[in-house]
Structure 1
Amino acid sequence: MKDKQKEILIEAWKMYQNLAKGFGENSWKIKTLGIGFWSTVIAYGYKNSDAIIYLFSILIVVMFFFIDCGMKTLQYKYIKKSIEVEKGINDYLVGSDSLSFPSNGISTNVEAIQREDYIFLIKLRSWRFWIQYLCMALISIFMLTYSPQNKSVNNINANSNIKYRKNNDFNSNFEKTLIYFNLGESELSISGEKKLEKLQEFTKEIKSVIVIPYTDTTGTNQMNRKISSERGENVQKKLMKIGIPKEKIFISSSNTLLIETSINVKEPLNRTVQMIIEVGTKRK
């Protein structure tokens, strides 16, 4: 009888060990998948200079963290079960007269994951589990905080040498906006096209648009001048397409950088076209 009970305990121990191993492996797979997915999103956000993507990357970190917490908690619960069975086997091997079974029997059922389980995993002694997620979250927050969209255009030293002519027939004001381009490209991106298309409903109020194209410091001067010129022309074509007359659009060549950098720096703010839009309503 004892031999039969011993075999049951040994099989139960093996089962719990295999389950714990399986959930442990799932935890690593989830962590690896999360890091890969997060890295892809961060790279996409950087390429397109999109702060919303960085915000999305934080949500990805949180989502994978909680899924990983679930896997890790289940691993620990089955390890605990295997330890209880192991204790009974060890007691028998050292001379106990009877085999002791776990108080709640042998079953694959475990208690539902509680808040205390998550608290246990975020304690300092469990840093090997959560340190990767903390690093990813901090990088996402850094990118979100210092992304080009969050830099004030008013703080940009763009010496365009443009003098504004006041028209006494209109109440005029000037608005600045930036159109971002991909590295080494002069074609408008989807987000750039959509941004320009939003001006379509205000074409009657727009009195003039000054287009100032820029490039970063990667590539040769000749190539950068060509890309800069093409970016300005492509913005002009799009503005004309949405209904702004060509005579209201002025392309100003700029030999300066929007953001001062050293050579071979891929600064997203320098891969832009700055538009200074004069909007006015006729005086009564």
Structure 2
Amino acid sequence: MKKCLVFIGLVCSVLLPGVKSTNTGDDLVETPVVDNQNVPLLAMFDMTKVNKRIKAYFSETFEKRMSNLVKMKLEDVLLSLKIDEDVKQYIDSMKGNLTLDIEMEIKDYFDHVKRNLTDALFEEMKSFRNSLQEVKQIIANQSDNLHGLNICGGILQDCGDLKGTGCTSGMYILHSSSKSLFSGYCNMDDNGGGWTVIQRRQDGSKNFYRGWDDYKNGFGDPTGEFWLGNEHIYKLTSQGRYQLRITLEDWNGDTSYATYNTFSLGNEDSSYKLTIGGYSGTAGM
């Protein structure tokens, strides 16, 4: 029986059991084999190509997996960065909207305050302008009688403020508690003076048969025949307690008087209701 040594070259993807390396490089591998008659044989395998293929396979697989892993991680990072950027943009947008809302609220508040202050100032100026216009109108209405205008007491609450001042009878500017300015005639001669004259009839030069508005606002010339006006009398007598003195004189120059310790007029809503009482004097009831 012939014996032969068989060299078999195989390309293997795995290591065979019982493989024994003959050198440190693992390029050649010895392995026992048997023939068909169970005769022991020794085969030498060249593992260089096998190792190269295995290395190439693992290298390619590892590179693909690492590439995929890096790609996935990179996508995760990019997604995270995108989410962070979206969140940042949303926060910036919310912060901008919140700042804008606060600024608008502050602006609206100060605009409201400014409007209120402007309106209040406008009303005060309007009131002052009206009062000034009333003074101008009074002076204009009395331009023919300026020679008789007595500024001894300045602006008075009523003619009673002149008592004891040495001022003489004449025209004065009166200022009631309602801030209404008007000119009036003060009698500083009768019964100690300080009387605010509300009516004078002496020569028939004025018609006293008039309507409601004329008696409300007054008419005539305070240095001659006139009626002071129900509204002025109401404002004067609403300031405190007043007396009414009526002085009468006939064509012969004989005089008499009547004094009422209580005198006042109500407002227009009451139709200027008259309250009077406490008579004394020589003119009779």
What TM-score, normalized by structure 1, do the two folds share? 0.29
Higher-RCO chain (CA-CA 8 Å, sequence separation at least 6): 1
Report which of the two has the higher share of strand: 2
Report which of the two has the higher share of helix: 1
What TM-score, normalized by structure 2, do the two folds share? 0.29
Find the structure with the greater CA-based Rg.
2
